[in-house]
């Protein structure tokens, strides 16, 4: 065979190519071709992936690019009627050609981007060595001259390219059935004869098979936001842009067989290969008298002695000799594998972050298993103390780069990246490209739009696809509803077939969330660069960059570190010496919080399943948190019941053989960590840790040949140690299933510290922590509402915004409540809030007019002012919101006029008020309570000045019902009926397996929120009431699972506006009615009326108002104080909460 495709667009041409990288080489091989090129539009994202795919099947990969060439300079953005670019195909002959091509592609994105990434003739002239040039499709410069009737211009341009490339320049002829191509080809053949420039025949391949032509047009419609049925669609006019075989190409170009032959000659010229197995370490400055290894040893030992001195290492569990032996072993391994520089680079930027008060995580991933990393402050986890394996991180028997993942404060991560750029040079540091891909739901919606289908049609199909990230189109096609739709409609069939074809295709680029490359030389010397937003990125994916020797470092943004840091700052205002890293890891309140499942907002522990497990597990030390994090994974999850049972009853722990006891003792006889699999292989099969890790990885990748061989080795070793063949087989099967999903102990250990710290702060400084947590989710109304509800459950109220006290984020108030953060209001931006707080440092705002005048020259805008008014931020000035909303725009204009006049020196000589503006506030009625609440919810998603349920107080006060808070926190359930009054806040409807509906309806009152479960019979009957903001009176039974807040299984529901007291079910039971509320008195003993306990008790009583009298006994004054303005509903829950607050001996209910 002597034809090779030299012009091909893969899926990485981003919605302008349907050829899948992995399919191309096999297809070419099946056609008898021994080589193939990739020439994506302006980029080289797929080059390395394509190279590896070709090598895997045994054909030659030809790396190239169809570049865009600017008509003049790549810096020119003024086209003056000209096209912005022309096409040109460049192919790499050798390494020099590759270096030149990636340099030009990089400069095209970083310097020449205008509509497309563009090079220019200047770049091409300087970097043409080692490249083969094809004149391009009809969008090329030479064909455009021809089509514009300028044969002389075309010939002159061809001669210029010939001078640049010599015998490596070819005139490219194509024939896809277009009239323009015939015109171009005739002229190119003439130029070829007149100038002795060879011809080459190509097909502009955009899809693999002829039948895929419509798919290509759909992709282009998706890219250009067009519809396939448009009169003038942007697409291909024929269906000839497919991967043709040699016979077809020779048929098409029968008059120029040499043009077809030349494809094979060009392929022979192209002999570029990537270089693997070499790493390009950046140069790091350290003691010039020492090698990198010697310097690493020096700072490691300095770190060791410093940690011994500060008692962070105390030799309680391990001797000094054991530490030094481990240090020596790790250093010997690191240095012998050539990774000393890597450790020094990571230590440098991590220590920069720590020394500049940028919150940095205690560790992440297997890197926490390195003692050296702990001693040079990369991590905060003593790997010897927690028995973590170094080999799980750096394995001398499996040569690969170490990979430290470092967590930084979400908002300050970029500061560390900027430091690295300053240190090593801007051109040597880049983040990595990532690709947005088309998952099933997105594919269906995108295809439907391109096909011109109605939104409702597409939405109906898309909504049948479960919202899970891992579902595939093959699985979607098996869904019963989808099967029916597929069989019943030709249009739906087309939609789903196309969606299946484009599933997983890249559609756009973005910046990888973590990866940062640091190199010894400018990165455009190793890889093509691209641009996403303001980021310059390495244009190969994460795995490809590592394979060609570029060092990747993961800089991850972790919001939890930000939350911890913000909480610490608030605490230090009262406790200057507070340091979360120094708190007691055995803190009782922290573990009580975890055991109660009060873990909303706690790192790694806030899912409902995790709450359930924690309630049963009852963790009481940091190792328990470590185990919990690792257990709640698909692999070890099957051991959860056994694990918990064994923890609480050690007599039930059984070991298949004695050799397992030292390995599994700390996890109560269960396999929890990946490292335990390694240790079992080492103990049973006699492997080194390195070999055990190799085997574990092979098992996790389901390599059948290795699993089979290792099964025999393992069972043989186990039976030799006294285990039965049956037990040995069972153990091996457990490890095989586990290894697919198991957690590394080092990762769990590092994460457990972050989990503990967040739990400690929530348990011990709840208002501070919840304020920081709420600030972290600013802009996410759902999470904000959820965390506000959680704060309410803890007795913490959210105070309304106030222009003189509120800051950017949420803050803890002096009374233990939380001040609302202004940034969480719609249309109020951070720069404006910063200007408010700066101005407030001079003095508080005295009035609304004072605020407007002082802020008039500080980006004051009416939209922000309107939101502040609606939120109630100016209520303290005593002017109705209704009045302010009528004059605020006029007030802004008056203030701006006054500022302008002051700047120009103008003033009103008759005015006696130069420090204020005169605003005529209209005399209008104040908004009703409901109107205020609606305004607050409009701008914040929350209500501050009350609750919408209060509008119905005339009804609710006469109805027997329970506070939502008390029901949601019930610890058990029975068959009694309970009733609630509240507002519907969220409705989710799902289909059961049998096709019936089940709804999950959230109802909120002033005390909190509860979820109602509404089964089909109730859903059909009361469907009209399940809409947001509907006030309802609902009755049902409590369903309570250990891991979750209680839920109400609905039996009956009514609109509060339609209800009368007689409608209440006579058999309804309520948490208040467990006591005789007319005869009882609740006595509470407190240290004094100044005590914070008094205020917290009052807040609790206010939430659970009822009709039982409350009397406080002030121990400092030795007198009783009856609270005439407050009474309480003394439910079991309320008594329990007050007892925990004041002590059970100080809470007495009499009568």
Q: Are residues 685 and 624 in the same domain?
A: yes
What gap in Å lies between CA 417 and CA 421, rounded to an integer?
Answer: 6
As a whole number, mean pLDDT of residues 292-320 equals 94
As a whole number, mean pLDDT of residues 826-838 equals 93
Across-strand partners of 673? 743
- The pLDDT assigned to 1078 comes to 35
Q: Are 353 and 716 in contact (CB under 8 A)?
A: no
Residue 851 is assigned to a structural domain of this protein: yes
pLDDT (tens digit, 9 = 90+) per residue, 9-31?
A: 999 999 999 999 999 999 999 99
Residue 927 is assigned to a structural domain of this protein: yes
Of residues 1076, 976, 987, 988, the one with CA closest to residue 1035: 976
Q: Are residues 912 and 953 in the same domain?
A: no
- Of 263-277, 466-480, 519-533, 901-915, the range with the lowest mean pLDDT is 901-915
Q: Which domain holds residue 126?
A: 11-269
Radius of gyration of the chain, Cα coordinates, nearest whole angstrom: 36
CA atoms within 13 A on the CB side of 148: 13
Q: Are 814 and 573 in contact (CB under 8 A)?
A: no
Q: Are residues 373 and 449 in the same domain?
A: no
As a whole number, mean pLDDT of residues 908-930 equals 73
- The pLDDT assigned to 176 comes to 95
**What tokens were used for 895?**
């203030």
Residues 6+ apart with CB under 8 A from 524: 102, 103, 106, 107, 427
Question: Helix 1132-1142 vs helix 1092-1103: angle between axes, to the nearest 10 degrees?
Answer: 170
What gap in Å lies between CA 1079 and CA 1107, rounded to an integer?
Answer: 9
Q: Are residues 1020 and 1135 in the same domain?
A: no
Q: Output 728 or 125, whichever has higher pLDDT.
A: 125
Residues 6+ apart with CB under 8 A from 1144: none
Instruction: Using alpha carbons, list the distances in angstroms from residue 868 to 837, 873, 882, 886, 921.
Output: 14, 5, 13, 14, 17
Q: Are residues 969 and 1055 in the same domain?
A: yes
| Local structure of residue 961 (DSSP, 8 states) | -
Across-strand partners of 8? 205
In 780-842, alpha helices (H): 781-793, 830-842
Q: What are phi and psi of 227, to 5 degrees?
A: -115, 140
pLDDT over threshold 70, residue 482:
yes
- The pLDDT assigned to 993 comes to 65
As a whole number, mean pLDDT of residues 704-719 equals 78
What gap in Å lies between CA 792 and CA 1102, rounded to an integer?
Answer: 12
Exposed e or buried b per residue across 922-939, where buried means at least 16 C-beta atoms within 10 angstroms of its C-beta: eeeeebebeebbebbbeb
Of residues 555, 562, 578, the one with CA closest to residue 359: 562
pLDDT over threshold 90, residue 629:
yes
- The pLDDT assigned to 1084 comes to 87
Q: Are residues 965 and 1003 in the same domain?
A: yes
Q: How confident is the model at residue 454 (pLDDT cuts 50, 70, 90)?
A: confident
Residues 6+ apart with CB under 8 A from 738: 635, 636, 671, 677
Annotate 617-671 with three-state secondary structure: HCCCCHHHHHHHHHHCCCCHHHHHHHHHHHHHCHHHCCCCCHHHHHHHHHHCCCC
What gap in Å lies between CA 1128 and CA 1059, rounded to an integer?
Answer: 25
As a whole number, mean pLDDT of residues 737-750 equals 80
pLDDT over threshold 80, residue 351:
yes
Tell me the residue length of the chain.
1151
CA atoms within 13 A on the CB side of 890: 11
Residue 511 is assigned to a structural domain of this protein: no
Lateral strand order in the sheet of 429-437: 405-409, 551-558, 506-518, 429-437, 535-538, 529-532
Residue with tokens 């170009």: 253
- The pLDDT assigned to 928 comes to 87
- Parallel, antiparallel, or unpaired: how do β-strands 997-1005 and 1031-1039 relate? unpaired
Across-strand partners of 1068? 977
Q: Are residues 606 and 681 in the same domain?
A: yes
What gap in Å lies between CA 391 and CA 334, rounded to an integer?
Answer: 11
Residue 1018 is assigned to a structural domain of this protein: yes
pLDDT over threshold 70, residue 198:
yes
End-to-end CA distance of the chain: 102
What gap in Å lies between CA 818 and CA 806, rounded to an integer?
Answer: 10
pLDDT (tens digit, 9 = 90+) per residue, 873-896?
A: 999 999 999 999 999 999 989 888
Of residues 72, 83, 25, 90, the one with CA closest to residue 52: 25
Q: Output 249 or 1058, whichever has higher pLDDT.
A: 249
Q: Are residues 89 and 223 in the same domain?
A: yes
* Final residue belonging to a domain, choices 1046, 1073, 1100: 1073
pLDDT over threshold 90, residue 144:
yes
Q: Output 358 or 227, whichever has higher pLDDT.
A: 358
Q: Output 993 or 679, whichever has higher pLDDT.
A: 679
- The pLDDT assigned to 67 comes to 97
- The pLDDT assigned to 792 comes to 83
Number of compact structural domains in the chain: 7
* Final residue belonging to a domain, choices 939, 961, 984: 939
221-225, 252-256, 1041-1045, range with greatest mean pLDDT:
252-256
- The pLDDT assigned to 1077 comes to 31
Q: How confident is the model at residue 78 (pLDDT cuts 50, 70, 90)?
A: confident
CATH of the domain at 870: 1.10.150
SS3 945: coil
Q: What are phi and psi of 421, to 5 degrees?
A: -65, -40
pLDDT over threshold 50, residue 1064:
no
Q: Are residues 222 and 369 in the same domain?
A: no
Q: How confident is the model at residue 709 (pLDDT cuts 50, 70, 90)?
A: confident
- The pLDDT assigned to 678 comes to 84
| Local structure of residue 926 (DSSP, 8 states) | P
- The pLDDT assigned to 708 comes to 74
| Local structure of residue 230 (DSSP, 8 states) | S
Q: Mean pLDDT of all residues in the chain?
A: 88
Q: How confident is the model at residue 637 (pLDDT cuts 50, 70, 90)?
A: confident
Q: Are residues 730 and 815 in the same domain?
A: no
- In percent, the amount of the chain with pLDDT more than 70 equals 93
Q: What are phi and psi of 1108, to 5 degrees?
A: -90, 130
Q: How confident is the model at residue 1063 (pLDDT cuts 50, 70, 90)?
A: very low
Q: Is the dihedral of CA 193, 195, 198, 202 positive or negative?
A: negative
CB atoms within 10 A of CB 20: 17
Residue 282 is assigned to a structural domain of this protein: no
* Final residue belonging to a domain, choices 714, 737, 759: 759
Residue 126 is assigned to a structural domain of this protein: yes
Q: Output 781 or 651, whichever has higher pLDDT.
A: 651
Q: Are residues 210 and 302 in the same domain?
A: no
100-109, 638-647, 782-791, range with greatest mean pLDDT:
100-109
Residue 914 is assigned to a structural domain of this protein: yes
As a whole number, mean pLDDT of residues 1039-1056 equals 80
As a whole number, mean pLDDT of residues 666-695 equals 83
CATH of the domain at 498: 1.10.10.1600
Residues 6+ apart with CB under 8 A from 905: none
Annotate 84-150 with three-state secondary structure: CCEEEEEEECCHHHHHHHHHHHHHHHHCCCECECEECHHHHHHCCCCEEEECCCCCEHHHHHHHCCC
- Of 152-166, 538-552, 689-703, 918-932, the range with the lowest mean pLDDT is 689-703
Q: Are residues 419 and 553 in the same domain?
A: yes
pLDDT over threshold 80, residue 312:
yes
| Local structure of residue 826 (DSSP, 8 states) | T
Q: How confident is the model at residue 897 (pLDDT cuts 50, 70, 90)?
A: confident
CB atoms within 10 A of CB 414: 12
Q: Output 803 or 785, whichever has higher pLDDT.
A: 803
DSSP conformation letters of 321-339: HHHHHHHHHHHHHHHHTT-
Q: Are 85 and 58 in contact (CB under 8 A)?
A: no
Residue 217 is assigned to a structural domain of this protein: yes
């Amino acid at each position: 065979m002597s034809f090779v495709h030299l012009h091909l667009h893969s899926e990485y041409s981003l919605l302008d190519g349907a050829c899948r990288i992995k399919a191309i080489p096999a297809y070419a091989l099946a056609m008898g071709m021994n080589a193939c090129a990739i020439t994506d539009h302006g980029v080289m994202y797929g080059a390395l992936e394509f190279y590896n795919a070709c090598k895997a099947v045994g054909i030659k990969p030809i790396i190239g690019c169809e570049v865009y060439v600017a008509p003049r300079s790549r810096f020119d953005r003024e086209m003056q009627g000209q096209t912005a670019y022309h096409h040109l195909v460049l192919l790499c002959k050798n390494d020099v050609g590759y270096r030149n091509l990636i340099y030009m592609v990089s400069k095209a994105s970083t310097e020449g981007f205008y509509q497309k990434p563009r090079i220019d003739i200047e770049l091409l002239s300087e970097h043409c060595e080692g490249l083969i040039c094809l004149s391009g499709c009809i969008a090329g410069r030479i064909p455009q001259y021809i089509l514009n009737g300028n044969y002389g211009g075309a010939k002159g341009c061809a001669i210029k390219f010939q001078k640049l490339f010599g015998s490596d320049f070819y005139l490219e002829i194509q024939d896809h059935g277009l009239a323009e191509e015939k015109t171009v080809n005739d002229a190119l053949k003439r130029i070829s004869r007149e100038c002795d420039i060879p011809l080459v025949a190509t097909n502009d391949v955009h899809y693999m098979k002829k039948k895929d032509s419509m798919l290509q047009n759909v992709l282009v419609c998706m890219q250009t936001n067009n519809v396939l049925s448009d009169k003038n669609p942007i697409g291909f006019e024929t269906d000839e842009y497919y991967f043709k075989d040699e016979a077809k190409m020779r048929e098409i170009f029968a008059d120029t067989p040499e043009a077809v032959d030349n494809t094979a000659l060009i392929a022979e010229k192209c002999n570029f290969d990537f270089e693997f197995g070499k790493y390009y370490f950046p140069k790091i400055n350290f003691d010039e008298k020492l090698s990198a290894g010697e310097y690493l040893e020096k700072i490691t030992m300095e770190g060791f002695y410093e940690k011994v001195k500060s008692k962070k290492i105390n030799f309680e569990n391990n001797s000094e000799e054991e530490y030094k032996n481990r240090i020596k072993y790790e250093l010997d391994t690191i240095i012998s594998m050539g990774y000393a520089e890597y450790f020094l680079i990571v230590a440098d930027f991590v220590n920069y972050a720590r020394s500049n008060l940028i919150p940095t995580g205690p560790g992440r991933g297997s890197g926490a298993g390195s003692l050296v990393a702990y001693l040079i402050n990369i991590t905060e986890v003593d790997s010897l103390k927690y028995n973590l394996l170094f080999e799980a991180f750096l394995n001398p028997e499996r040569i690969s780069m170490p990979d430290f993942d470092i967590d930084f404060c979400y908002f300050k991560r970029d500061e560390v990246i900027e430091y690295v750029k300053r240190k090593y040079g801007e051109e040597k540091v880049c983040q990595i490209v990532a690709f947005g891909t088309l998952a099933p739901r997105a594919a269906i919606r995108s295809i439907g739009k391109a096909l011109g289908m109605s939104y409702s049609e597409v939405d109906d199909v898309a909504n049948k696809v479960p919202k899970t990230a891992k579902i595939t189109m093959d699985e979607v096609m098996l869904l019963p509803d989808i099967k029916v739709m597929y069989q019943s409609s030709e249009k739906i069939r087309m939609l789903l077939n196309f969606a299946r074809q484009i599933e997983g295709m890249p559609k756009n680029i973005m910046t990888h969330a973590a990866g940062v490359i640091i190199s010894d030389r400018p990165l455009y010397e190793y890889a093509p660069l691209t641009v996403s937003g303001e980021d310059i990125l390495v244009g190969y994916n994460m795995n490809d960059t590592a394979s060609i020797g570029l060092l990747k470092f993961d800089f991850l943004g972790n919001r939890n570190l930000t939350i911890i840091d913000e909480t610490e700052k608030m605490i230090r205002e009262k406790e200057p010496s507070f340091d979360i890293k120094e708190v007691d890891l055995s803190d009782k309140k922290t573990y009580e919080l975890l055991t109660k499942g009060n873990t909303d907002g706690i790192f790694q522990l806030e899912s409902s399943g995790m709450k359930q497990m924690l309630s049963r597990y009852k963790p009481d030390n940091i190792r328990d948190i470590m185990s919990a994090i690792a257990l709640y994974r698909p692999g070890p999850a099957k051991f959860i019941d056994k694990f918990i049972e064994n923890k609480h009853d050690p007599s039930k722990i059984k070991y298949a053989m004695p050799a397992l006891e030292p390995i599994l003792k700390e996890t109560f006889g269960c396999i929890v960590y990946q490292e335990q699999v390694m240790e079992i292989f080492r103990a049973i099969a006699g492997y080194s840790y390195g070999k055990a890790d190799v085997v574990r990885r092979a098992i996790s990748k389901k390599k059948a040949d290795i699993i089979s061989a290792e099964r025999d080795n393992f069972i043989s070793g186990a039976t030799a140690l006294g285990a039965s063949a049956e037990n040995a087989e069972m153990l091996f099967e457990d490890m095989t299933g586990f290894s697919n999903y198991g957690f590394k102990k080092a990762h769990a250990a590092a994460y457990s510290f972050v989990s503990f710290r967040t739990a400690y702060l929530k348990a011990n400084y709840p208002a501070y922590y919840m304020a920081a947590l709420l600030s972290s989710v600013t802009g996410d109304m759902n999470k904000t509402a959820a965390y506000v509800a959680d704060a309410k459950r803890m007795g913490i109220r959210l105070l309304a915004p106030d222009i003189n006290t509120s800051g950017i984020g949420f803050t803890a108030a002096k009374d233990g409540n939380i001040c609302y953060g202004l940034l969480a209001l719609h249309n109020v931006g951070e720069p404006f809030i910063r200007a408010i707080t700066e101005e407030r440092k001079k003095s508080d705002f005295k009035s609304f007019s004072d605020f407007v005048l002082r802020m008039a020259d500080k980006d004051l805008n009416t939209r922000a002012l309107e939101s502040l008014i609606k939120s109630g931020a100016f209520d303290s000035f005593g002017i109705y919101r209704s009045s302010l909303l009528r004059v605020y725009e006029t007030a802004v204009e008056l203030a701006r006029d006054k500022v302008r006049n002051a700047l120009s020196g103008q003033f009103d000589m008759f005015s006696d008020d130069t420090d204020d503006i005169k605003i005529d506030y209209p005399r209008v009625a104040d908004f009703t309570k409901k109107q205020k609440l609606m305004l607050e919810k409009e701008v914040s998603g929350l209500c501050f000045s009350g609750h919408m349920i209060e509008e119905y107080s005339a009804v609710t006060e006469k109805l027997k019902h329970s506070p939502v808070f008390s029901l949601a926190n019930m610890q058990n359930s029975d068959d009694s009926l309970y009733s609630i009054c509240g507002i519907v806040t969220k409705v989710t409807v799902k289909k059961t397996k049998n096709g019936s509906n089940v709804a999950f309806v959230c109802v909120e009152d002033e005390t909190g929120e509860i979820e109602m479960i509404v089964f089909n019979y109730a859903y059909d009957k009361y469907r009209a009431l399940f809409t947001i903001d509907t006030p309802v009176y609902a009755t049902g039974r409590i369903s309570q699972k250990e891991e979750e807040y209680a839920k109400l299984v609905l039996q009956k529901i009514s609109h509060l506006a339609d209800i009368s007291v007689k409608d209440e079910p006579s058999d309804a039971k309520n948490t208040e009615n467990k006591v005789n509320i007319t005869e009882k008195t609740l006595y509470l003993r407190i240290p004094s009326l100044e005590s914070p306990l008094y205020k917290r008790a009052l807040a609790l009583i206010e939430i659970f108002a009822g009709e039982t009298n409350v009397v406080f006994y002030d121990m400092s004054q030795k007198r009783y104080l009856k609270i005439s303005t407050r009474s309480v509903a003394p439910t079991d829950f309320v008594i329990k909460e007050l007892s925990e607050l004041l002590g059970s001996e100080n809470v007495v209910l009499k009568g």
